[in-house]
Amino acid sequence: MAQAIIKKQKDTGLWGGNLLGTSPSAAQGIKDIGTIPQYRRLVQLGVPTGNRAFKLADRLLFRLLSRDDDPALLHEYQKGAKGDEGYTIWARNLIREGATTALAEAGQVEDPRVRGAAHRVASEVSEFLRSPLADKPFVRSGAVTILNPEARPPTWYCVAMVASMPNLQRERAGFRDRLVHYLSSPPPKKAYALAIGKKKVKPAHLMLGDPIEADGKGTPKDLPLALHFIELLARLGGLAQSPSATRVLNRLLRDVDQHGVWSPKGLRSLPKPVNRISYHIFPLDAESKAPEWKQVDVTFRLALIARLAGWTLDYV
């Protein structure tokens, strides 16, 4: 599987398959996942970062951090960026942020290139969180509600990047606290778009508040995404501050048996993701006919979250 990342880099670009709902990949016939999600998935699988697949991908990811303006580095965004400077700038920034996150998750947190890129992202988001735009981020553009072009809310990549960099969290404790508070707030209910250059883009990569959707009992609409978000909050030290995250986590823990295995009644199949942002973390266990296959990933994530939260696990 590790070598697959090399082929993905050539065939599907960085995101592939319209992973974030923002790239034109699907329109170009690309359905597979691209380099950055595959790279992050290999990290989750515990593949040694000295593996050839990582070394080849690192060359590309570090080049993306160098602010090289080679059009080829836009990958699947090249077509949409032609003749549109605003879209080009947006695409390069999004790609750079994704590359920073992937490298940070792979353990490159003290590399000066990664640290520099991470601090730039943190500074922009921190300025947004301190501004009035955090409370009123929308404007009207004709008949469409759009995000204010000056707003810089956190993305899934920004949050994962900060969660992977403990030193950055310590150095910018105020920013981390503001970020956790923002992510614990109810998200806006209105639909909106991003005005990027000459185009309108879906905002699937942004986080305007708490992304978890759950019913009154704490059952999430998208279990893999909820687990991903809860884990990020645990890494940020902010799990207890999120009402929805704690409610969903408590609901899941009620289905954990005396052996620590997630065993909900009536489980017939593996929970399916709704948002592909959780692709790299769920499921990690290879599909098999063994009945426990449906439980492995959720059990593992719950145990990991508990460990990150500092809980003591004592199962038979």
Mean pLDDT over the full length of the chain: 89
Q: SS3 of 164, please? A: coil
| Angle value at C-alpha 11, between 7 and 13, nearest 5 degrees | 105
206 forms beta bridges with 155
Residue 316 confidence (pLDDT): 54
| Cα 83 versus chain centre, distance | 29
Report domain extents, the chain: 4-201, 223-308
DSSP 179-197: HHHHHTSPPP-S--BEEET
Does residue 8 have a pLDDT over 70? no
* pLDDT for 26: 47
Which of 260, 259, 205, 229 lies closest to 94 in space, CA to CA?
Answer: 205
Please state which of the ranges 25-29, 82-86, 102-106, 299-303 shows the lowest mean pLDDT: 25-29
**Count of CA atoms in the C-beta half-sphere (13 A) of 302:** 23
Model pLDDT for residues 121-168, shown as the tens digit of each residue: 999 999 999 999 999 999 998 889 999 999 999 999 999 999 999 999
Contacts 24+ apart (CB under 8 A), 83-88: 84/197, 84/198, 84/199, 85/197, 86/196, 86/197, 86/198, 87/196, 87/197, 87/198, 87/199, 88/197
Angle at which helix 35-44 crosses helix 4-12, to 10 degrees, equals 160
In this predicted structure, the answer to whether residue 92 has a pLDDT above a threshold of 60 is yes
Give me the count of residues in the chain: 316
Residue type at 309? Answer: A
Q: Are the C-beta atoms of 98 and 44 separated by less than 8 Å?
A: no
Instruction: Count CB atoms within 10 A of the CB of residue 111.
Output: 16
Give the pLDDT of residue 45: 94
If you average pLDDT over residues 234-263, what whole number do you get? 95
pTM for the model: 0.91
pLDDT reading at 28 higher than 50: no
pLDDT of residue 285: 83
Q: Which bin fits 166, alpha (ψ -120 to 50), beta or left (φ > 0)? A: alpha
Question: Cβ of 295: how many Cβ atoms within 10 Å?
Answer: 20
The better pLDDT of the pair 257, 34 is held by 257
Confidence of residue 32 (pLDDT cuts 50, 70, 90): low
* pLDDT > 70: percent of the chain: 90
